[in-house]
Structure 1
Amino acid sequence: MAENGKATKKLQSASVPHVLVIPFPSQGHLLPLLDLVYHLSMRRVSLTIAVTPANLPLLSPLLAKSPPNSVETIVLPFPSHPSVPPGVENAKDLPSLPHFHSFMHTLVGLMDPLLSWARSHPKPVSAIISDSFLGWTQNLAAELDIPRIVFSSNGLLFTAVSHYLWLRMPRRPDPTDDNYPVSFEEVANSPVYPWRHLSWLYRTYVEGDPDCEFIKENFLLNLKSEFVVSNSFEALEGEEFRQSVQTLGFKQAWSVGPLAPTTGASDRGGTASMSAGEVMTWLDGCPDGSVLYICFGTQVDLSTEQGAALAAALELSGVRFIWVNKGASAVPNGFEKRTADRGRVIGGWAPQLAILNHAAVGWFLTHCGWNSVLEAITAGVAMLTWPMAADQFCNARLLIESAKVAVPAVEGMKTIPDAKELGGILRNTIGEGGKEIRQRAKELSTKAVEAVREGGSSWRELEDVVEEIYKISSKVH
């Protein structure tokens, strides 16, 4: 994204605002917010990021690349909670999904230390930018009598859908009916989702449970902020999606994405069974657009049964593939040997950005996590969707029905796909049947790149965010 825009130049004579940034400690939330921080630092904004010790290393690329003295940190001990195992400071390290409620709740323990820090800091804080999962920071902003800007690591559609749920609290008459249709009349295109596609956080709400009531209040507090910044862009989610968010209570919604990993946020590295050089060399020998990339993010492990079904589908389809396998038992014995002439399995970490941007990769079988979605869009790679939880069903529908750059493949966290059916989808889509979708993906990629260039829609909206921060600062001080 182009830096040092017109808004910044107009404000050169103004005093530099000081913004407190509070990320939610989960890779999918924290990393795009760090990329936003980088862009703000390049536009003459001073920022302090609140972080706990175990998450501090994730800031290293940002701190190395940002202008000197523009980004500082405040390192606070991670609050304790009886249901959060000691030493766990990032959601990816939680032993199971049910621990997530307590993990969200325990973070409110950072409020008093942050309040003390802000009140004693020699440079007053002008505003707070914090993740949408940290609604309690709205109370922190109120205590300091400063505005808060909500950062949504998701798109505008899911931002609207998730807040609509907690505001309207739709319930299903039959607690066993997972197909019960829930209407979202105040959201763009009035979507209807079956109950099973709703956010797990919402579906597991239990009235009176302290953690659940805290999470509900968390999202309602977000709506008390005037501002929300989304990691999206105009060509993907236009004015009708912005209006959906504003209808629910936000007065201003900005789309500043795709927030590409300017600070090395995505391909940070890790332990892998195959080096990046080996991956690229193998791809170099494949025809353009012929390879299917398969990855389900940092928090999903396929079961043995799911892995066997996917492996059988790949064998039946005959397509070229790279399969990133985190789970030790997901890939059947002998599969790699049988498919060595047209596929590679990578255990552990993979250089996802480099893979997606290689000319040989034409398709991505994905869980539809928003960061993966944006990386695929930017690379011009079409998608096969396997949404499992959280925002993923919402994202998948946006890609299939609105953007038309994806094909449905499987859905559900525990679904074991029919190997013959999935194999047919892979064979037909990655062949002649998917040409039009691939072309649309390339066209959307061009629009994504244009959005973040100087003068593009996201560039302009980021300039507006900076200008608003300066206005806030002048009023506060």
Structure 2
Amino acid sequence: MSSEADDFGSKTKSLHFLLVPLMAQGHMIPMVDLARLLAARGAHVTFATTPFNLARIQTVVDGAAASALPIRFVELHFPTMDVGLPDGCENADLIPSADLLLPFMNALSLLRRPLEAHLQNLDLNQWPKPTCLISDNFQHWTADVARNLDIPRLIFHGPSCFFLLCDLLINRHRLELEAAMEATSSGSFMLPGLPHPIMINKHEVTSVMRSDPDWSKYMESVRVAEESADGVLVNSFVELEPLYFERYQEVTGKLVWPVGPLSLYKEEFDAKAARGQVSSIDNKLLFQWLDKQKVGSVVLVSFGSVVRNTSAQLMELGYGLEASGQPFVWVVKEVGERQVLGVEEWMIKFEKRVEGRGIVIRGWAPQTLILEHVAVGGFVTHCGWNSTLEAIVAGVVMATWPHFYDQFINEQLIVDVLKIGVAFGVEEPKLFGIGDKNEVAVKVTRGEVQKVLERLMGGGDEGNERRKRAKELMEKARMAMEEGGSSWKGLQDAINYVLESRQK
């Protein structure tokens, strides 16, 4: 190693990154990977979250200790019952009803006092003072913490850069878009300011986060805090969405660093299997079954940690999977840990009918490992960004079934821009991932499930081109995270920025 590299390594070891994720699995998981990547570069890292969320990632905590990575995991008390949340409701996937989402988000600022108490008790002989705070963009209160510490604050964004740019432009051109909505009945509008034409739907302009006064107040706090941030880290890679990285940086005027796909963090099989949470199935039996299937023949069906479908929709999906004749792995959180009434008895009968051809996982699944298995050729997904990236990393084509928030715009990226997916055609979002009384029972019929799967898994020029593009993106994703790649360099540039800020 050169003396210059030695000098850089010694400087990095003097850095201390304080990470504050949002307590939602889609946000927690990549932040955990980011923490380990920073520690692997030699920096000290404090990962601060609540007791329940630390318990979920105990495998990671143990692994970091065993490998002597300089990471500390800090428990912050979250007074759920004091703000009207159920006892232990420390993660978004535990919120029982949509009307409790905003109270949960507003309560996040209550983490400030325990975090500052921890920082006041630091033994500076053992652990250096924080030199940079990296927080999820929804943890807006951390702006004041960084200001008091007089250190840079970087925003970590979970969604795609494509979504970030679209969301920013929707807010910027909202009056113009609302006027366009009144002038037409089509429901689709051209979004100004993008590098190429993209149509957005009415619900993306009038979502609850923009139209409800209480939500608007919260989102304004998020926006103000984001404007004060020194830079932005995005869990994506330049080669996936180059035009959007360039335009997003132009529009925000901020330093924007690609650091993904963070799911490519190198780790052992058992650690990957417990990524995010311990698996709800015997992994040995699962992978023995996958080993017996033909290459590229299996469909994985999974809608992330928050989404909860109605019992009628679950059954309709099951009948569609059964009729397709395709081998499948179906992750069903609505049976077991996220119980939906009336499903369990039906599911038992369903499993008997598809025995040998399909596997149902009740709860958490080792999704990354399943997607990487050679037998898996298609993925029915809610278009959450973590799931999307995991499919891209595995070179697996997608059938897109968005439910809320960024998922509809991610679908456009997958289907219309990257052309590695087939859409189910769902247009109406949920208020939140969980159901509500006014939700339509069935949005996708069994016939539509069968039709989309046939198109996704079928051959022909269209299917072959889709798979070819997916494999090409897989290679680009892996190259981005290798030493010298665009995301490897993005993380290094962010570290250099913090080093330079400290010197100034």
The normalised TM-score by structure 1 is 0.89
Return the alpha-carbon distance in structure 2 between the equivalents of residues 253 and 7 of structure 1.
26
Q: 1:137 aligns with which of 126, 133, 142?
A: 142
Q: 2:301 aligns with which of 294, 308, 312?
A: 294
1:202 aligned residue: 209
2:318 aligned residue: 311
CA contact (8 A) 1:21 1:48 kept: yes
Taking a change above 3 Å as real, the CA distance of residues 73 and 280 of structure 1, as seen in their structure-2 partners, is closer
Deviation string 1:52-91 (CA, Å, 9 cap, x unpaired) is 2222224534443446362123322114453322321111
CA contact (8 A) 2:173 2:192 kept: no
Say whether residues 1:124 and 2:129 are aligned partners: yes
CA RMSD of aligned residues (A): 2.8
CA contact (8 A) 1:198 1:390 kept: no
1:449 aligned residue: 478
Deviation (angstroms), 1:160: 2.2
Q: 1:436 aligns with which of 447, 465, 479?
A: 465
Deviation (angstroms), 1:200: 4.8
1:156 aligned residue: 161
Partner amino acid, structure 2, of 1:48 = T
Deviation (angstroms), 1:11: 1.3
The normalised TM-score by structure 2 is 0.84
Q: Comparing both structures, which one devotes a greater share of its residues to helix?
A: 2
Say whether residues 1:11 and 2:18 are aligned partners: no
Deviation (angstroms), 1:129: 0.5
2:445 aligned residue: 418
Q: How do residues 239-254 of structure 1 correspond to structure 2 at under 5 angstroms?
A: 240-254=243-257
Partner amino acid, structure 2, of 1:318 = G
Deviation string 1:231-287 (CA, Å, 9 cap, x unpaired) is 00122111x211332234241111111102546366345463x42222212222211
Partner amino acid, structure 2, of 1:228 = V
Deviation (angstroms), 1:172: 3.8
Tell me the SS of whatever aligns to 2:451.
helix
Say whether residues 1:349 and 2:384 are aligned partners: no
CA contact (8 A) 1:5 1:463 kept: no
Q: 2:389 aligns with which of 358, 366, 374?
A: 374
CA contact (8 A) 2:85 2:103 kept: yes
Q: 1:31 aligns with which of 10, 29, 32?
A: 29
CA contact (8 A) 1:387 1:393 kept: yes
Return the alpha-carbon distance in structure 2 between the equivalents of residues 86 and 178 of structure 1.
45
Return the alpha-carbon distance in structure 2 between the equivalents of residues 398 and 178 of structure 1.
24
Deviation string 1:401-442 (CA, Å, 9 cap, x unpaired) is 111111112424455213223312212331214222122111
Q: 1:229 aligns with which of 229, 233, 240?
A: 233
Taking a change above 3 Å as real, the CA distance of residues 250 and 267 of structure 1, as seen in their structure-2 partners, is farther
Deviation string 1:83-141 (CA, Å, 9 cap, x unpaired) is 32232111111112331211111111222443454456433321110001112212222
Tell me the SS of whatever aligns to 1:12.
helix
Q: Which range is displaced more, 224-233 or 153-162?
A: 153-162
Q: Which range is displaced more, 127-136 or 74-83?
A: 74-83
CA contact (8 A) 1:199 1:391 kept: no
Tell me the SS of whatever aligns to 1:11.
helix
Say whether residues 1:321 and 2:318 are aligned partners: no
Taking a change above 3 Å as real, the CA distance of residues 69 and 376 of structure 1, as seen in their structure-2 partners, is closer
CA contact (8 A) 1:7 1:463 kept: no
Taking a change above 3 Å as real, the CA distance of residues 242 and 290 of structure 1, as seen in their structure-2 partners, is same
2:289 aligned residue: 282
Return the alpha-carbon distance in structure 2 between the equivalents of residues 459 and 165 of structure 1.
31
Return the alpha-carbon distance in structure 2 between the equivalents of residues 25 and 265 of structure 1.
20
CA contact (8 A) 1:325 1:347 kept: yes
Return the alpha-carbon distance in structure 2 between the equivalents of residues 6 and 187 of structure 1.
45
Return the alpha-carbon distance in structure 2 between the equivalents of residues 195 and 202 of structure 1.
14
Taking a change above 3 Å as real, the CA distance of residues 409 and 69 of structure 1, as seen in their structure-2 partners, is closer
Return the alpha-carbon distance in structure 2 between the equivalents of residues 50 and 198 of structure 1.
34
2:261 aligned residue: 258
Return the alpha-carbon distance in structure 2 between the equivalents of residues 109 and 212 of structure 1.
20
Q: Runs of 5+ in structure 1 lacking a partner? A: none
Q: Which range is displaced more, 380-389 or 430-439?
A: 430-439
Return the alpha-carbon distance in structure 1 between the equivalents of residues 260 and 273 of structure 2.
15
1:407 aligned residue: 422
Deviation (angstroms), 1:395: 1.0
CA contact (8 A) 1:367 1:387 kept: yes
Return the alpha-carbon distance in structure 1 between the equivalents of residues 465 and 118 of structure 2.
55
Partner amino acid, structure 2, of 1:141 = A
Q: Runs of 5+ in structure 2 lacking a partner? A: 336-341, 431-439
Partner amino acid, structure 2, of 1:454 = E
2:380 aligned residue: 365
Return the alpha-carbon distance in structure 2 between the equivalents of residues 126 and 429 of structure 1.
48
Deviation (angstroms), 1:190: 4.8
